[in-house]
């Protein structure tokens, strides 16, 4: 068995022209590997190609070219095995309103060919917190309960890989905490988790590794820590006793007045240190009441890397 849960080579998807719309390239030759047992973030702006990639993995969209292996099974040569190896919790609440949660899980298990004696319906209902709603019509469930049911449906065939597509979009704090507790437990049991989310603080907290795609191209793929570490920046937050006028600062330091006496002084860590900034404040006679530092986070890295990729695109086209 390969050490990779997912192997993608040269993956392209071009949607054919229709009406007044020309052909659209959604994925432009993606090469990506996702290791077994990881919690892997798949990030990108709206329209980056994430949904197309996920739908290809799930077998819902046919690729134009390239190669996809899921848990070692080639999607073209072993389509049944590759689909059985992956479960997808979609973003859309596509739940049959006339099925109870128990019935929905049983039907889903049947679609995957899980024998009745091997089904884990009660176990999954307990995992997703729907035991007391097991026999209620799905149309009576709240939005949060329906989202839990989607997670349960993705787990009925015991996949080795679980894809969570915007799992916490529009959910409350309690459901978010329950979901992440379940994800951590499943990952500890050996399941590989692929997460797409616009809540980048969640991705930074949950993911071992991250890939960022934009306009159908892979921009970066690295450990979460390494991606954040690419941002050569730090911010010193200083609250002063009195308003500060013109202030001579070391080269490379930028100033932002945030009100209530707070100054944000940002600088490249490779060329300037906090001591030099504080020394400049002392020389200017600035009385400091409070201070703290802010490190760059995944959101800073995401914005910087996507901006760099888009700025470089016109040059590449020339």
- Among 138, 133, 139, residue whose Cα is nearest residue 104: 138
294 pLDDT more than 70: yes
Q: Two tokens at 155?
A: 């787990």
Query: What is the average pLDDT across 241-262?
Result: 90
Share of the chain above pLDDT 70, in %: 97
Every domain of the chain and the residues it spans: 4-85+159-228, 232-294
Is pLDDT above 80 for 283?
yes
Matching residue, tokens 């298990």: 109
* pLDDT value of residue 318: 43
52-95 confidence digits (pLDDT tens): 999 999 999 999 999 999 999 999 999 999 999 999 999 888 88
Give SS3 for 238.
strand
Across residues 27-34, what is the average pLDDT? 96
Instruction: List helix spans (H) across the chain.
Output: 50-57, 79-84, 101-111, 121-127, 143-155, 173-188, 200-206, 224-229, 274-283, 298-317
pLDDT for 317 equals 47
For the domain covering 4-85+159-228, report its CATH number.
3.40.50.300
How does the average pLDDT of the chain come out, rounded? 91
**What confidence tier does 297 reach under pLDDT thresholds 50, 70, 90?**
very high
Please give the average per-residue pLDDT across 43-53, as a whole number.
93
Domains 4-85+159-228 and 232-294 fall in the same CATH topology: no
Least confident residue range of 1-5, 61-65, 165-169, 305-309: 1-5
> What does the pLDDT look like over 112-127, one tens digit per residue?
999 999 999 999 999 9
The domain over range 232-294 is classified in CATH as 1.20.1070: no
For residues 280 and 249, the answer to whether their CB atoms sit within 8 Å is yes
Residue 229 pLDDT exceeds 70: yes
User: Does pLDDT of 31 surpass 50?
Assistant: yes
Angstrom CA distances, 36 to 1, 145, 165, 180, stand at 10, 29, 19, 19
pLDDT of 2 reads: 61
């Amino acid at each position: 068995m390969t050490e990779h849960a997912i192997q993608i080579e040269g993956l392209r998807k071009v949607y054919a022209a229709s009406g007044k719309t020309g052909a659209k390239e959604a994925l432009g030759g993606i090469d990506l590997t996702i290791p077994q047992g990881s919690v892997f973030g798949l990030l990108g702006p709206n329209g980056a190609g994430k949904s197309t990639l996920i739908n290809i993995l799930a077998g819902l969209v046919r690729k134009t070219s390239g190669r996809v292996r899921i848990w070692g099974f080639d999607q073209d040569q072993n389509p049944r095995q590759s689909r059985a190896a992956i479960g997808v919790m979609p973003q859309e609440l596509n739940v049959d309103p006339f099925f109870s949660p128990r019935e929905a899980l049983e039907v889903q298990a049947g679609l995957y060919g899980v024998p009745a004696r091997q089904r884990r319906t009660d176990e999954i209902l307990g995992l997703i917190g729907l035991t007391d709603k097991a026999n209620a019509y799905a149309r009576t469930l709240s939005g949060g309960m329906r989202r839990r049911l989607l997670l349960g449906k993705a787990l009925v065939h015991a996949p080795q890989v679980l894809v969570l597509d915007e799992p916490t979009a529009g959910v409350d704090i309690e459901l978010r905490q329950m979901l992440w507790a379940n994800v951590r437990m499943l990952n500890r049991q050996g399941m590989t988790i692929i997460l797409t989310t616009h809540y980048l603080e969640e991705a930074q907290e949950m993911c071992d590794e991250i890939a960022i795609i934009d306009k159908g191209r892979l921009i970066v793929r690295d450990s979460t820590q390494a991606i954040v570490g690419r941002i050569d920046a730090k911010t010193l937050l200083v609250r002063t006793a009195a308003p500060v006028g013109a202030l001579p600062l070391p080269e490379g330091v930028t100033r932002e007045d945030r009100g209530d006496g707070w100054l944000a002084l940002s600088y490249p860590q490779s060329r300037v240190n906090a001591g030099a900034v504080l020394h400049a404040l002392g020389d200017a006679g600035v009385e400091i009441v409070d201070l703290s530092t802010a490190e760059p986070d995944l959101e800073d890295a995401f914005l910087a890397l996507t901006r760099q990729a888009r700025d470089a695109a016109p040059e590449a086209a020339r």
